[in-house]
């Protein structure tokens, strides 16, 4: 079936070492970008109310996904916990900067988004590494 071949290709792609390496590089760069953007004057000031929460959610969803992608069980969740810790540390740093402010709501959004990103990565990785149904044997009628 054509759909089966596409699914198999997607599964092989998600488990590919090259993809894991690419995600790791992008994830590492994203950590640096989030820290820098969190320390400069607020680039979202003057935007619609609550827009900063959307940016927090997107950033930490990506950080949680990158932390968890391709890591085995406990290692995966330790990496996601590190992203949650980073989110709270960045909020603490912002409280020390006169041009920024720390908000508990931002820390909570960071936490939920990092966990959701980690969960998404785990779900995709499990789906990609799940054994496929064996082909039916000739003569068994299946």
d(CA 109, CA 102): 13
The answer to whether 55 touches 44, Cβ cutoff 8 Å, is yes
d(CA 104, CA 96): 14
Q: Is 16 helix (H, G, I), strand (E, B) or coil?
A: coil
42 vs 130, residue with greater confidence: 42
d(CA 78, CA 54): 25
Q: What is the mean pLDDT of the chain?
A: 85
The answer to whether 121 touches 69, Cβ cutoff 8 Å, is yes
- E strand map for the chain: none
Largest CA distance in the chain: 76
Enter the tokens of residue 117. Answer: 């990103």
With cut-offs at 50, 70 and 90, classify the pLDDT of residue 139: low
What is the predicted pLDDT for the residue at 46? Answer: 77
What is the predicted pLDDT for the residue at 131? Answer: 60
The answer to whether 100 touches 39, Cβ cutoff 8 Å, is yes
Q: How far is CA 21 from the centre of its chain?
A: 14
């Amino acid at each position: 079936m054509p759909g089966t071949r596409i699914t198999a290709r997607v599964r092989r792609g998600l488990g590919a070492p090259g993809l894991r390496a690419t995600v790791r590089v992008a994830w590492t760069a994203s950590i640096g970008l989030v820290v820098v953007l969190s320390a400069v004057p607020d680039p979202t000031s003057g935007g619609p109310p609550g827009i900063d929460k959307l940016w927090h959610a997107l950033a930490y969803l990506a950080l949680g996904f990158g932390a968890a992608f391709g890591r085995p069980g406990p290692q995966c969740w330790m990496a996601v916990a590190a992203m949650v810790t980073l989110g709270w540390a960045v909020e603490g740093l912002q409280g020390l900067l006169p041009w920024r402010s720390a908000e508990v709501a931002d820390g909570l959004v960071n936490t939920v988004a990092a966990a959701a990103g980690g969960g998404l990565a785990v779900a995709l990785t499990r789906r990609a590494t799940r054994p496929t149904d064996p082909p039916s044997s000739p003569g068994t009628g299946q």
